[in-house]
Structure 1
Amino acid sequence: MLNRVNRVALIGTGFVGSSYAFALLNQGGTEELVLIDINKQKSEGDAMDLNHGLPFAPSRTKIWFGDYSDCKDADLVVLTAGANQKPGETRLDLVEKNTAIFKEIVSEIMASGFDGIILVATNPVDILTYVVWKFSGLPKERVIGSGTILDTARFRFLLGEYFDVDTRNVHAYIIGEHGDTELPVWSNADIGVTSIAEWTKNKEGFNQADLEEIFLNVRDAAYHIIERKGATFYGIAMGLVRLTKAILQNENSIFTVSAYLDGEYDHEDIFIGVPCVVNRNGIRQVVELDLNKEEQEKFTHSVKVLKNTLEPILKNVES
């Protein structure tokens, strides 16, 4: 009887994809990793390069470049393919280009007989997660977008810096669109077991404007990084690896991923960044935060922006 091993199929070996593969290898996140890209030479070169690092890796990983037929036995497909965000572009500007790319990709994935979980990282991630769900026909629980996991990580990092505490002890969330209409949930933000509001009382020279500046730096971080180096990839790659391990190891961990709402937060028929329990079956449940009135209004605005963007796209998806 053969031992069952975890297989991850990575589609797209650009900046994000290759960074994800490198981080996954370094953390021993899966037993098998297949790299798939329209540029076969690039994916072959990445596989060769990664294999040469195996003697230094924490565990054995079989890595090769392949094609869509390798998705058949994959437990998880990670989608990082697509057009990149250029300086001056918003994530939503990419929607038509990447929807067309994804229609072809998802068709190939499902034709292989794939029946696992799809993790989407390409922008605009909320919109593309929705169209992947539509194109694939998979249950909504098994199509997950990276959502606001990176925004939440940036938020926690900056709050940790500001209050001089380990970022891993900061429990705060960014929800909504992974983009310009996202919002911080200050009403549910804690450090350790104490609310941010209590921490500010003991912060010497505290100014409420400091917290607003932190959020603005979170929201606009991608633009700042793109101006400096052309793309963001290390942070999201590490976030994707963390999600991968939570899925494959059945952790029941909570992440602010892009998930389908079916009445949660008083909204439905949209994929958007919210805290969710993630395990081997995908999204086990959406965690509903108790938002205050202002936060609920901002979240509703974010939903409306995404739905307005999605509406013309859906005509092509459903035709």
Structure 2
Amino acid sequence: METRTSKVSIVGAGAVGSTLAYAGLMRGFARTVALYDINKAKVEAEALDLAQGIQFMKEATVLGSNDVGVVEGSDVVVVTAGAKQQPGQTRMDLAEATISLMDKVMPPLIDVAPNAIYILVTNPVDVVTLAAIKKSGMAPDRMFGSGTVLDTSRLRHQVAAECDVAVRNVHAYIAGEHGDSEVALWSSATIGGLPLTQWTGRDGNVVMTEEVRERIHHDVMRSAYTIIEGKGATNYAVGAAGARIVEAVLNDQRHILPVSTLIDYPGVGEVCMSLPAVIGRNGVENHAMVNMTDEESAALEASARAIRATAERFGVG
């Protein structure tokens, strides 16, 4: 009998795609990793560079091609291709170009890998994910966006630094849009099981005051702009975040991650937005209902409306 091994394909060999491949190979998330990009020289060079480091990683085969056939047989396809965000641009400024690109990219991918789980890691991820689902006809649980997994990582990093604890002890989520209307769910956040707003420092004073929370949330929202202004692109953290999502799928980890999924938001309509969800071998298994204050609920609705307005502007949904 033929033994089938896991295969992950990454569409787009740019900064995010190649970094995601590297992060995944270092974690050993699949036995075969394929890169697909229309730029033949670029994708072959990235694949060769990655393959030549396999001695120092978990054993894997790395492929790179400008032929979509390289994606065939994939368990997971990660789409990172998209318009590049320039300094001063918002994620929504990229919508039209990236949606148009998805119209060309998705059909041939689904033809060669119809049974894969599709994860979109391209901006603006919420609107693009909605467009991809609607135009491909894929089941929403099998096609979703990276959403606010990265924003949540940024939030936890900032909170951990402020409270002087290990980041793994911080449990907090960013929900809604992956963008300027994102919502920090402070009311459900904890450190080591203790509500975040009750955490005290060595001086006995509460650390996460309203002022500190507002500053951290602002810094999280501005992180991408700061990084892009400084070095031209974000790639390390988003690559690691994307690899983590893939790992949760392939290993059926039932990990709770705030990915961008299709929901019918009451009073708003269909949108793709981020809410904590259980991620496993079938993709989005179910949503984790997180308690929210009235203020957080109102902010989340406003975020849904902002995403919906952009979707309608570009004729999506």
Instruction: Flag whether TM exceeds 0.5 (same fold).
Output: yes
For 2:187, the aligned partner's letter is: S
2:113 and 2:145 mapped to 1: Cα distance? 21
Matched residue, 1:45: 45
Matched residue, 1:277: 278
Does the aligned pair in 2 maintain the 1:119–1:143 contact within 8 Å? Answer: yes
Q: Kindly state the Cα deviation for residue 55 of structure 1 after the two structures are TM-superposed.
A: 1.0
For 2:199, the aligned partner's letter is: W
Matched residue, 1:301: 302
Residues 140-197 of structure 1: CA deviation (Å, up to 9, x unaligned):
1001100000110010000000000001100001101000000111110100110011
| Of 165-174 and 192-201, the range deviating more from structure 2 | 192-201
Q: Kindly state the Cα deviation for residue 114 of structure 1 after the two structures are TM-superposed.
A: 2.2
Q: What 5-or-longer segments of structure 1 have no aligned partner? A: none
- Tell me, what secondary structure is at the counterpart of 1:25? helix
Taking a change above 3 Å as real, the CA distance of residues 6 and 213 of structure 1, as seen in their structure-2 partners, is same
For 1:287, the aligned partner's letter is: A
Does the aligned pair in 2 maintain the 1:177–1:302 contact within 8 Å? Answer: yes
Does the aligned pair in 1 maintain the 2:36–2:43 contact within 8 Å? Answer: yes
- Structure 1 residue ranges (4+ consecutive) displaced by more than 6 angstroms after TM superposition: none
Matched residue, 1:159: 159
**Which residues in structure 2 correspond to 1:182-221 (within 5 Å)?**
182-200=182-200, 202-203=204-205, 207-221=209-223
Residues 105-156 of structure 1: CA deviation (Å, up to 9, x unaligned):
0011122252211000100000111111112211110011000001100100
Matched residue, 1:65: 64
Matched residue, 1:242: 244
**Which residues in structure 2 correspond to 1:1-319 (within 5 Å)?**
1-57=1-57, 59-66=58-65, 67-200=67-200, 202-203=204-205, 207-262=209-264, 268-314=269-315
Q: Kindly state the Cα deviation for residue 72 of structure 1 after the two structures are TM-superposed.
A: 2.8
For 2:98, the aligned partner's letter is: N
2:256 and 2:268 mapped to 1: Cα distance? 20
2:206 and 2:303 mapped to 1: Cα distance? 34
| Of 200-209 and 231-240, the range deviating more from structure 2 | 200-209
Q: TM-score, normalised by structure 1?
A: 0.95
Does the aligned pair in 2 maintain the 1:12–1:35 contact within 8 Å? Answer: yes
2:209 and 2:124 mapped to 1: Cα distance? 34
Does the aligned pair in 2 maintain the 1:183–1:295 contact within 8 Å? Answer: yes
2:241 and 2:207 mapped to 1: Cα distance? 33
| Of 249-258 and 109-118, the range deviating more from structure 2 | 109-118
Q: What 5-or-longer segments of structure 2 have no aligned partner? A: none
Residues 250-304 of structure 1: CA deviation (Å, up to 9, x unaligned):
11110011011145x7765211011000000000001121211100110000000
- Tell me, what secondary structure is at the counterpart of 1:261? strand
Does the aligned pair in 2 maintain the 1:163–1:203 contact within 8 Å? Answer: no
Does the aligned pair in 2 maintain the 1:124–1:178 contact within 8 Å? Answer: yes
For 1:297, the aligned partner's letter is: A
Q: Kindly state the Cα deviation for residue 219 of structure 1 after the two structures are TM-superposed.
A: 0.8
Q: Kindly state the Cα deviation for residue 200 of structure 1 after the two structures are TM-superposed.
A: 4.5
Q: Kindly state the Cα deviation for residue 24 of structure 1 after the two structures are TM-superposed.
A: 1.1
Taking a change above 3 Å as real, the CA distance of residues 309 and 232 of structure 1, as seen in their structure-2 partners, is same
| Of 199-208 and 104-113, the range deviating more from structure 2 | 199-208
- Percent identity (aligned): 36
Q: Kindly state the Cα deviation for residue 76 of structure 1 after the two structures are TM-superposed.
A: 0.6
Q: How many residues align?
A: 314
Q: TM-score, normalised by structure 2?
A: 0.95
| Of 61-70 and 157-166, the range deviating more from structure 2 | 61-70
Q: Kindly state the Cα deviation for residue 26 of structure 1 after the two structures are TM-superposed.
A: 1.1
Q: Tell me the C-alpha RMSD between the 2 structures.
A: 1.6
Does the aligned pair in 1 maintain the 2:83–2:94 contact within 8 Å? Answer: yes
Taking a change above 3 Å as real, the CA distance of residues 164 and 37 of structure 1, as seen in their structure-2 partners, is same
- Tell me, what secondary structure is at the counterpart of 2:314? helix
For 2:308, the aligned partner's letter is: K
| Of 191-200 and 156-165, the range deviating more from structure 2 | 191-200
